[in-house]
């Protein structure tokens, strides 16, 4: 990964809290869905965001493109902070950043024809002139995602799962964005359809120089699609590395657990599995110190007290773990990794 | 020495009466499960793997909806010919089932303990106190911490992984000879999936029951199953030992499925393999071999006539006209 590639989106210390209201609407507590995440997306890359249910990966994806406003932190696209834009400016910015949702069925209006859904986007953004030109653009995009012209007149329910995801992709692409946030775009699909959609995503990226933020719970899918990977746990980014580095040498204990839990499609490999005790703690009252210390097989005294910061352990490989931070490595010479 | 067959399904077919006519969801499915073995049933949505499992327990409305054909031999009896009253004694007692969605399969208004006790009191005629003791024991067996406390909790108080464990506890309470697990981990995270799969493997060894594991995930199959049946459009297209399925798949569909899984290890290709086309609808089942329209090796013979599921080696059976040839 070249260090001097252009940054499409830079997020710094982004937080997203959902307030829990008690009597009389008083905020009694917060669900800390995303708690201080910093990352940069480089032009033309796929950044894979992986983690389990409730780790905040989807919320982060939505917050980064301002579908839901961030509680704190800054998100910079083209030199402008998304959190400070007026709604009108944001609408303009939407051309640059788009989203593909997990369930294309519930994210498409059931009463509108597919063609009209796509035309509406062009109308809102005032792209293309009269009906004819916009229509041509829609037809072009349908062809790009592997749909036929007659699909223009169909409704969402008339499509199969894979085709619907193609429509979702067409909708994200039609404004010609730089960045697309793909939130679990293939998890609802069967393997054979999944590979079709993944290949389509890769082809489109190559052709248009798109940047993807690819959110998935499936490590194998992430491995195929992403150049860099970020691992999330309970609202925190705990590790970030180039894909091959992360799969070859996961540094954070949680990344190791996650990787060891993925079943391998080879009956001859018998993997040594690290079984994690207990369940995910509640993001309302996350554990103090390192959020993972309650389930971590290597937890030390310092983990309960201090939250580890993201630190580069190798070029392009960042980890938030006391096992890898300089001073604690001296205190605890025989750490387990 | 091979263990006895506890279940033998012969030429099972299940048709549904729908508004658009009668649809044959599965057509001539035959397989068996031995004591202590885990059979994986794989295929994509709509291939009939769940219909097969639900047909074994006859869970469909036979009066208006469904018509069965063939035989399901269990402990010397044909389940399809059993009167409903007898059938009820089989369900949950000799043959138990775990469903994909534990939250909607558990009753929200009763405690989990109550639901485990129900099974025990109905099938084993246990008294309340005795059943409660056994319920706690079952919760402990499936690895739920502080079972004495959990037994009085409601399903919504448990996490997804815990609920699936409760489902397994209910299923195993009467020590069934056969456990049917229909996508038991699909809704769960990988770390929880690993826990549940380890549990099923462990209990399978301890209790020596047969397990039929229905899943769309070939990696799960590779990890836990001893034999595999691959289904496509209501038929078994290949059946073999787990090593043969992955090392030497005989059917082009099996090969396609295996090649299109993104792998967690080894070589990473630039593009994923994709199977051409899509699964046709049940109302438009193709002539001849059902996979022919999507098959890279299809010939005239394939389009004209349906191949049988024939043995190609000791334990491997393949439904393909080209199965004896070299793999493409």
At B10, is the pLDDT very low, low, confident or very high (cuts 50, 70, 90)? very high
Lowest mean pLDDT among A145-149, A328-332, B50-54, B133-137: A328-332
Q: What is the DSSP string of A33-47?
A: EEEEEEEEEETT-EE
A207: distance to nearest CA of chain B, Å?
A: 15
Of A193, A224, A261, the CB nearest to B194: A261
Question: Is the Cβ pair A160, B278 closer than 8 Å?
Answer: yes
Average pLDDT, chain B: 90
Q: What is the pLDDT of residue B39?
A: 96
Give the pLDDT of residue A333.
Answer: 43
Q: Which has the minimum average pLDDT: A166-175, B14-23, B26-35?
A: B14-23
Q: What is the pLDDT of residue B21?
A: 86
Grouping H, G, I as helix, E, B as strand and the rest as coil, residue B6 is: strand
Buried b (16+ CB within 10 A) or exposed e, B167-206: bbbbbbbbebbbbbbbbbbebbbbbbbbbbbebbeebbee
Query: Does B217 sit within 8 Å of A192, measured CB to CB?
Result: no
By C-alpha distance, the chain A residue nearest B222 is A267
- Cα separation of A323 and A321, whole Å? 5
Q: What is the pLDDT of residues B217-239, one digit of tens each?
A: 999 999 999 999 999 999 999 99
ipTM: 0.82
A260 chain-B contacts, CB cut-off 8 A:
194
In b/e form, how buried is each residue of B247-259, taking b as 16+ CB within 10 angstroms? eebbbbbbbbbbb
Q: Do B193 and A261 touch (CB under 8 A)?
A: yes
Inspect the interface and report whether the beta carbons of B194 and A263 lie closer than 8 Å: yes
Share of chain A above pLDDT 70, in %: 94
Chain B hits for A266, Cβ within 8 Å: 222, 246, 263, 265-266
Q: Which one of B191, B223, B257 has the shortest CB-CB distance to A192?
A: B257
Mean pLDDT along residues A239-258: 94
* Cβ within 8 Å, pair A198-B262: yes
- pLDDT, one tens digit per residue, over B104-159 is 889 999 999 999 999 999 999 999 999 999 999 999 888 888 899 999 999 999 88
Which residues are B66's β-sheet partners?
B16
Burial of A270 (0-12, 13-18, 19+ CB in 10 A): exposed
Instruction: Answer yes or no: are the C-beta atoms of A317 and A285 closer than 8 Å.
Output: no
pLDDT digits (tens, 9 = 90+) for A315-326: 999 999 999 876
- Residues from chain B contacting residue A267 (CB–CB below 8 Å): 222-223, 242-243, 245-246
Enumerate the residues of chain A whose CB falls inside 8 A of the CB of residue B245: 267
Nearest to A279 among B161, B216, B262 (CB): B161
* Least CB–CB distance from B216: residue in A191, A220, A279: A191
Chain A nearest-CA distance from B245, in A, is 9
Helix (H) or strand (E) holding A90: helix A87-93
Residue of chain B whose alpha carbon sits nearest to that of A55: B189
Q: N- to C-terminal Cα distance for chain A?
A: 25
Chain A / chain B CB contacts < 8 angstroms: 122
Chain B: residue nearest A202 by CA?
Answer: B271
Kindly list the residues from chain B whose CB atom is less than 8 angstroms away from the CB atom of residue A279.
159, 161-162
Cβ distance B220 to A192 less than 8 Å, yes or no, reads: no
Residue of A nearest to B193 (CA): A261
Is B106 an 8 Å CB contact of chain A?
no
Predicted pLDDT at A275? 77
Q: Does A294 touch chain B (CB under 8 A)?
A: no
**Stretch B36-44: mean pLDDT:** 94
Contacts of B193 in chain A (CB under 8 A): 261, 263
pLDDT in tens, A270-293: 777 787 777 778 888 888 899 999
Q: What is the mean pLDDT of residues B65-92?
A: 92
The closest CB to that of A275, out of B160, B194, B246, belongs to: B194
Which phi and psi angles does B316 have, rounded to 5°? -100, 125
Name the least confident of A17-26, B52-61, B82-91: A17-26
The whole-angstrom distance between B322's CA and the closest CA on chain A is 22
Residues 6+ apart with CB under 8 A from A102: A183, A184, A185, A187, A188
Q: Which helix (H) or strand (E) holds A214?
A: strand A211-216
pTM given for the model: 0.86
Q: What is the pLDDT of residues A5-48, one digit of tens each?
A: 899 999 999 999 999 888 888 888 899 999 999 999 999 999 99
Residues of A in contact with B257 (CB under 8 A): 191-192
Closest CA to B31 of B176, B192, B240: B240
CB contact under 8 A, B274 and A218: no
Within an 8 Å CB–CB cutoff, is residue B146 touching chain A?
A: no
Query: Is B194 within 8 Å of chain A by CB?
Result: yes
Share of chain B above pLDDT 90, in %: 62
B189–chain A Cβ distance below 8 A for any pair: yes
- Whether the CB-CB separation of A42 and A8 falls below 8 Å is answered with yes
On the 0-12 / 13-18 / 19+ scale of CB atoms within 10 A, A233 is: buried
What is the predicted pLDDT for the residue at A332? 44
Confidence of residue B2 (pLDDT cuts 50, 70, 90): confident
pLDDT of residue B324: 66
Calculate the CA dihedral of residues A59, A62, A64, A65 and round it to 10 degrees.
-170
> Between residues 237 and 276 of chain A, which touch chain B (CB distance below 8 Å)?
247, 257-269, 273, 275-276
Report the alpha-carbon distance of residue B98 to residue B222 in Å, rounded.
Answer: 20
- Nearest CB to B191 within list A194, A202, A276: A276
Query: If 0-12 CB within 10 Å is exposed, 13-18 middle and 19+ buried, where does residue A38 land?
Result: middle
Q: What confidence category does residue B304 fall into, taking pLDDT thresholds of 50, 70 and 90?
A: very high
Contact B100, B185 (CB under 8 A): no
Residues B224 and B200 sit within 8 Å (Cβ to Cβ): yes
Give the mean pLDDT of A219-234.
Answer: 94
Determine how β-strand A236-242 pairs with β-strand B5-18. Answer: unpaired
pLDDT at A3: 54
Could you report the per-residue pLDDT of A36-88, keeping only the tens digit for each?
Answer: 999 999 999 999 999 988 899 999 999 999 999 999 999 999 889 999 999 99
């Amino acid at each position: 990964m070249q260090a001097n590639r252009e940054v499409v989106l830079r997020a710094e210390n982004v937080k997203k809290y959902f307030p829990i209201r008690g009597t009389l609407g008083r905020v009694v507590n917060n669900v800390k869905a995303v708690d201080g995440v910093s990352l940069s997306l480089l032009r033309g890359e796929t950044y894979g965001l992986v983690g389990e249910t409730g780790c905040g990966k989807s919320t982060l994806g939505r917050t980064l493109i301002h579908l839901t406003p961030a509680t704190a932190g800054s998100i910079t696209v083209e030199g402008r902070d998304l959190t400070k834009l007026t709604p009108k400016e944001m609408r303009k910015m939407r051309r640059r950043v788009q989203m593909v949702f997990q369930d294309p069925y519930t994210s498409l209006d059931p009463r509108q024809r597919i063609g009209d859904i796509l035309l509406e986007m062009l109308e809102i953004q005032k792209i293309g002139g009269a009906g004819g030109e916009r229509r041509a653009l829609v037809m072009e995009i349908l062809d790009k995602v592997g749909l036929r012209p007659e699909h223009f007149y169909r409704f969402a329910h008339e499509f199969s799962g894979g085709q619907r995801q193609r429509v979702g992709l067409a909708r994200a692409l039609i404004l010609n964005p730089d960045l697309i946030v793909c939130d679990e775009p293939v998890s609802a699909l069967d393997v054979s359809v999944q590979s079709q959609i993944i290949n389509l995503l890769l082809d489109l990226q190559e052709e248009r120089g798109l940047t993807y933020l690819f959110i998935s719970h499936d490590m194998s899918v992430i491995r195929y699609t992403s150049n860099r990977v970020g691992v999330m746990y309970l609202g925190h980014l705990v590790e970030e590395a180039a894909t091959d580095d992360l799969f070859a040498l996961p540094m954070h204990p949680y990344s190791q657990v996650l990787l060891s839990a993925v079943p391998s499609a080879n009956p001859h490999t018998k993997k040594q599995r690290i079984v994690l005790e207990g369940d995910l703690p509640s993001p309302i009252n996350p554990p103090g110190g390192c959020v993972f210390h309650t389930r971590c097989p290597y937890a030390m005294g310092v983990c309960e007290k201090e939250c580890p910061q993201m630190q580069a352990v190798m070029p392009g490989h960042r980890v938030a773990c006391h096992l890898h931070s300089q001073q604690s490595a001296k205190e605890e010479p025989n750490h387990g990794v | 020495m091979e263990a006895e067959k506890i279940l033998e399904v012969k030429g099972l077919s299940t048709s549904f009466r729908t508004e658009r006519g009668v649809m044959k969801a599965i057509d001539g499915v035959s397989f068996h499960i031995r004591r202590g073995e885990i059979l994986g049933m794989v295929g994509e949505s709509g291939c009939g793997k769940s219909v097969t499992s639900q047909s074994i327990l006859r869970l469909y409305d036979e009066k208006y909806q469904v018509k069965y054909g063939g035989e399901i031999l269990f402990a010397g009896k044909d389940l399809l010919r059993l009167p409903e009253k007898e059938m009820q004694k089989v369900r949950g007692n000799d043959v138990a089932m775990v469903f994909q969605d534990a939250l909607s399969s558990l009753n929200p208004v009763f405690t989990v303990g109550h639901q485990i006790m129900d099974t025990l009191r109905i099938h084993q005629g246990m008294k309340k106190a005795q059943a409660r003791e056994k319920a706690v024991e079952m919760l402990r067996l499936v690895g739920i911490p502080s079972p004495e406390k959990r037994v009085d909790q409601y399903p919504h108080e448990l996490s997804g992984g815990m609920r699936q464990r409760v489902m397994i506890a209910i299923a195993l309470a009467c020590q069934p000879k056969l456990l049917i697990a229909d996508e038991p981990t699909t809704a769960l995270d990988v770390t929880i999936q690993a826990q549940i799969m380890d549990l099923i493997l462990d209990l399978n060894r301890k209790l020596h029951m047969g397990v039929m594991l229905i899943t769309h995930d070939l990696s799960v199959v590779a990890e836990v199953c001893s034999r595999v049946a691959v289904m496509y459009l209501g038929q078994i297209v290949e059946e073999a030992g787990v090593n043969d399925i992955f090392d030497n798949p005989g059917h082009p569909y099996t090969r396609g499925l295996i090649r299109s899984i993104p792998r967690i290890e080894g070589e990473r290709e630039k593009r994923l393999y994709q199977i051409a086309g899509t699964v046709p609808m049940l109302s438009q089942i193709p002539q001849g071999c059902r996979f022919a329209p999507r098959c890279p090796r299809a010939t005239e013979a394939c389009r004209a006539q349906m191949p049988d599921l024939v043995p190609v080696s000791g334990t491997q059976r393949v439904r393909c006209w080209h199965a004896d040839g070299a793999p493409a």
